[in-house]
């Protein structure tokens, strides 16, 4: 009876010596830059707390506090915690997370520092999980990683963190890790969009590219052009400015949303104008564009203020942006960066979620820097984006069409190349674990075993499908 | 310009004269027994309240209060209410719902009175929506109906109730209106089951038939048989007693759940025993059944107390029940009721949700009393059940496989025969409206236009697909 135990002990030793080469029982998605762990278990206190002593960040807007509340929600979502915690010895009790943020500033902008350190060591009483981050957005990523370390212990009826001590240092490979949703081909109700944003944060995606309007419908309210959203499919299939602002406000993981949102908003207005006003916009002088709506839209106004731009400067910025950043497929990307332009990789053949025949393995192996070897040119690839075009997507099928395939791309965009699997089958078990985690959090992620949005082929465990 | 208005006015008059023969703009699902309405509009107060003056029901367990909270959640889910209500004249301001329940008792049992009256008249200041019900469960149905009368007014940025005055009297045709879910072929995480229960209430289904265990897996904890749930697919694909109790607790629309749940629990244990103990249970003496788990399971214990049964009497009750009530297809049903036995209609050819080729039209037209003309025999048909067998259903696809087809069956089971559509196409617009309402509440109901769980065929409005 004693041999298996000892053998297990040896195994763990070996793993530790080799600095954790990610065995089957490591279930973090996307994989952090560096992970070390042990073999002890600790239990979350029933009054699990957020502690910020020594942090420079004041959290005036409650970004961190809200993130902590969401953490508690997700780790308790799939079970009922019923046990009497007072029974547990303090030496195995985790009292909370101690978050230290180095920057006072929480302005959201492209390239914000998203790095973090997360360590859980059974030292000191009471014991805290220690998070150190340059910005509050790094701290939010750390909370997401922490949430994946928490499990429900069926014997003790407690939330536990096993495999401690943990030492994790992490940062994204690419600054722009996007998901495009399309609310023109089909309207997406507010609750669906909010769920998509929450689930993006679980996979550390950080840009919601909201393709609000297109030929098919114009669901967005533009205060200075009140007739525009008469182009919506129906009265109820519309987004008021307040709803749009609410969606932006809810985006507290580092989604570069004001930027993406505003940019897309203008993009939408212009492209729509070009249809309404019969190609008046072939020459974009700018003088024909009434930009007053920006200053009358609270969150855009706020964003303009932060940027120190007036409306027409902003318009110039957008046009320049449109020229500077291009959404491109691989192959094209090499030529664009060779020309000194920035780009975001988003190739149809691998990263279009509406292509149901594209498997998660193809999403995983799509490398943004394919054939781009020059370091200067590599820096011009600021990231990538998976696209959920809406021709056949509405509120009934968006979640399982996005997940788990978007998660495969998310690891490609987040994880350091050395830590990426050489072959997708090396991550199948970890990705299916993440997919089941999404289900446990109420997100309808589809089985891995098949193409996009596939139903389970036969009865069985979530972890095998 | 004035003619269309007048014509509209006339149309409404005609409708009223003929006592509302349910025109296109009446969007209540399932259709109540009797509905009258007008053409005025009223706006919900920003401090919309629950008033219970004169009610005999004390609401000690907060059933009504929780129902009112859920009402506020669903009517505000899809929009951001931003307007200044003080601008509105009190004469068009709806201050809240005034609920009067006649029975002190809120014990859940088969055949509980679910009838209600809901009237909204622009009389008295402040104005209230008046709900009168025999039991709190009828009142909860009234709140569901009321929620379907609320819309977001884009001009005023307020929640409105149009078409007042409303006078609705309503009660179910059948007492048992069930949905079966199967957590043995695939595990369903707690958040999924809770969402299913909420959405059932929207359609006034009142029995969750939880097929917990079967050959494939045994996810439920049975305290007196701690090894049983080793038959679960995995450690995390399990329901603790606390989770099961939480699911039962959450069921506050009149789901006859303790009954259904307990019955199914025993059923599951027995059928599983028969496999474990090699057919020892071919003769069910009862003495071989250890029923201690019932008394050790809080909510079952409570239910036994309410029934005034001890464990072995309860066992007897279950066996008798198993003999008295049968789940049957049409055709079989007529023979069973002819033999004087009660039955619940649930025929494969029309009410199995896992049969994707069965359309909502077939779900709608499936009549439980087919070929049963004798009134005494008709009374023996206590209702029906749609079945979501789990071979190809997991957390990723349960919602769109259930909805909207289960809603079609729900109207068949709820609505008085005189008010049922003679042909499904008469309700297409109203059902698609209900489907879009489900989407707006975050439920992934599929388009009507096609078989089960179909994706939208092309870009377009939710209301046309």
pLDDT tens, residue by residue, A413-446: 999 999 999 999 999 999 999 999 999 999 999 9
Q: How far, CA to CA in Å, does B161 sit from each of A46, B14, B94, B165, B166? A: 44, 21, 9, 10, 10
CB distance from A41 to chain B under 8 Å? no
Q: Supply the mean pLDDT for chain B.
A: 81
Beta bridge partners of B130: B98, B119
- Count of CB pairs separated by less than 8 Å, A with B: 198
In the block, which residue shows the tokens 């318009």?
A315
% of chain A exceeding 70 in pLDDT: 77
Is the separation of the CB atoms in B114 and B144 below 8 Å?
Answer: no
Q: From the centroid of its chain, how far is CA A232?
A: 29
pLDDT in tens, B342-389: 888 888 889 999 999 999 999 999 999 999 999 999 999 999 999 999
pTM for this predicted structure: 0.84
In the block, which residue shows the tokens 């000690």?
B60
Structure tokens at A398: 């968006």
A271: left (phi over 0), alpha (psi -120 to 50) or beta: alpha
* Domains in chain B, CATH or no CATH each: 14-170 (3.30.379.10), 178-285+324-423 (3.20.20.80)
Mutation for testing the B interface, residue in A249, A455, A463 having most B CBs under 10 Å: A455
| Cβ neighbour number for residue B453 with a 10 Å cutoff | 25
Return the residue of B nearest to A157 by Cα: B240
| Cβ neighbour number for residue B147 with a 10 Å cutoff | 17
Q: Can you give the length of chain B in residues?
A: 465
Mean pLDDT throughout B141-146?
97
Q: Do A460 and B151 touch (CB under 8 A)?
A: no
- In this complex, which of B77, B189, B446 lies closest to A191 when CB atoms are compared? B77
- Give Cβ neighbours of residue A358 (< 8 Å, ≥ 6 apart): A349, A350, A352, A405, A451, A452
Q: How would you label A125-155 residue by residue, b for 16+ Cβ within 10 Å and e otherwise? A: eebbbbbbbbbbbbbbbbbbbbbbbbbbbee
pLDDT in tens, B122-141: 888 899 999 999 999 999 99
In the block, which residue shows the tokens 């969606």?
A247
Structure tokens at A359: 């498997």
Q: B107-111, B294-298, B301-305 — which is least confidently predicted?
A: B294-298
Q: Do A462 and B397 touch (CB under 8 A)?
A: no
**More reliable by pLDDT, B89 or A117:** A117
Beta bridge partners of A435: none
- Give Cβ neighbours of residue A442 (< 8 Å, ≥ 6 apart): A77, A195, B189, B191, B192, B195
Q: What are phi and psi of A367, to 5 degrees?
A: -95, 115
CA distance to partner chain B, nearest, from residue A297 (Å) = 14
CA distance to partner chain B, nearest, from residue A13 (Å) = 25
CA distance A236 to A221: 12
Is the separation of the CB atoms in A55 and A461 below 8 Å?
Answer: no
CB distance from B355 to chain A under 8 Å? no
Residues of B serving a catalytic function are 288
CB distance from A460 to chain B under 8 Å? yes
CB distance from B230 to chain A under 8 Å? no
Q: Supply the mean pLDDT for chain A.
A: 81
Mean pLDDT throughout B388-413?
97
Residue B309 confidence (pLDDT)? 66
Q: Do A237 and B462 touch (CB under 8 A)?
A: yes
Scanning B158-217 for CB atoms below 8 A from A yields 184-187, 189-192, 195, 216-217
- The ipTM, to two decimals, is 0.83
Which residue from B186, B237, B184, B230 is spatially nearest to B211, judged by alpha carbons? Answer: B184
What pairing do the DSSP bridges indicate for beta strands B325-328 and B342-345?
parallel
Scanning A97-156 for CB atoms below 8 A from B yields 151-152, 154
Q: Do B395 and A439 touch (CB under 8 A)?
A: yes
Q: Which helix (H) or strand (E) holds B142?
A: helix B136-149
Is the separation of the CB atoms in A457 and A465 below 8 Å?
Answer: yes
Q: Do B396 and A459 touch (CB under 8 A)?
A: no
Using pLDDT thresholds of 50, 70 and 90, give the confidence band for residue B307: low
Q: Is A378 helix (H, G, I), strand (E, B) or coil?
A: helix
Residue B411 confidence (pLDDT)? 98
Which residue from B94, B141, B149, B95 is spatially nearest to B117, judged by alpha carbons? Answer: B141
Q: How far, CA to CA in Å, does A230 sit from each of A213, A215, B162? A: 12, 13, 21
Q: Is B88 helix (H, G, I), strand (E, B) or coil?
A: coil
Cα dihedral A272/A273/A274/A280 (nearest 10): 180
Q: Do A456 and B82 touch (CB under 8 A)?
A: no
CA distance to partner chain B, nearest, from residue A376 (Å) = 42
- In this complex, which of B82, B152, B234 lies closest to A461 when CB atoms are compared? B234
């Amino acid at each position: 009876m004693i041999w298996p135990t000892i053998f297990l002990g040896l195994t763990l030793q070996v793993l530790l010596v080799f600095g954790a080469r990610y065995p089957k029982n490591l279930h973090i998605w996307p994989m952090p830059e560096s992970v070390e762990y042990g073999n002890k278990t600790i239990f979350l206190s029933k009054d699990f707390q957020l502690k910020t002593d020594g942090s420079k960040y004041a959290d005036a807007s409650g970004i961190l506090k809200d993130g902590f509340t969401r953490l508690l929600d997700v780790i308790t979502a799939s079970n009922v915690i019923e046990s009497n915690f007072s029974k547990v010895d303090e030496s195995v009790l985790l009292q909370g997370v101690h978050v230290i943020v180095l920057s006072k500033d929480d302005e959201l902008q492209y390239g914000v520092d998203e790095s973090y350190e997360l360590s859980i060591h059974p030292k000191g009483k009471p014991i805290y999980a220690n998070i150190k981050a340059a910005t509050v957005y790094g701290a939010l990523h750390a909370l997401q990683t922490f949430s994946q370390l928490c499990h429900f212990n069926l014997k003790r009826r407690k939330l536990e963190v096993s495999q401690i001590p943990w030492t994790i240092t992490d940062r994204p490979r690419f600054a722009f890790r996007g998901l495009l949703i399309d609310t023109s081909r089909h309207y997406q109700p507010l609750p669906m969009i909010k769920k998509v944003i929450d689930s993006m944060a679980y996979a550390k995606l950080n840009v919601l590219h909201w393709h609000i309007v297109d030929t098919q419908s114009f669901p967005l309210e533009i205060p200075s052009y009140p007739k525009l959203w008469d182009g919506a499919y129906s009265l109820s299939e519309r987004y008021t400015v307040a709803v749009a602002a609410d969606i932006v406000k809810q985006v507290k993981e580092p989604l570069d949303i004001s930027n993406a949102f505003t940019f897309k908003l203008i993009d939408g207005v212009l492209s729509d104008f070009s249809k309404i006003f019969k190609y008046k916009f072939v020459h974009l002088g700018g003088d024909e564009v009434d930009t007053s709506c920006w200053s009358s839209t609270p969150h855009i106004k706020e964003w303009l203020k932060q940027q120190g731009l007036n409306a027409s400067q902003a318009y110039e910025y957008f046009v320049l942006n449109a020229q500077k950043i291009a959404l491109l497929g691989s192959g094209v990307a090499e030529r664009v960066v060779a020309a000194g332009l920035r780009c975001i990789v988003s190739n149809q053949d691998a990263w279009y979620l509406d292509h149901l025949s594209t498997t998660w393995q193809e999403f995983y192996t799509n490398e943004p820097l394919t054939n781009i070897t020059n370091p200067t040119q590599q820096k011009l690839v600021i990231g990538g984006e998976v696209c959920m075009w809406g021709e056949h997507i509405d509120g009934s099928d968006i979640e399982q069409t996005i997940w788990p395939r978007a998660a495969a791309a998310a690891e490609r965009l987040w994880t350091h190349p050395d830590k990426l699997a050489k072959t997708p089958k090396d991550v199948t078990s970890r990705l299916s674990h993440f997919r089941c985690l999404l289900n446990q959090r109420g997100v309808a992620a589809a089985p891995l075993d098949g193409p996009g949005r596939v139903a389970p082929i036969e009865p069985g465990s979530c972890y095998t499908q």
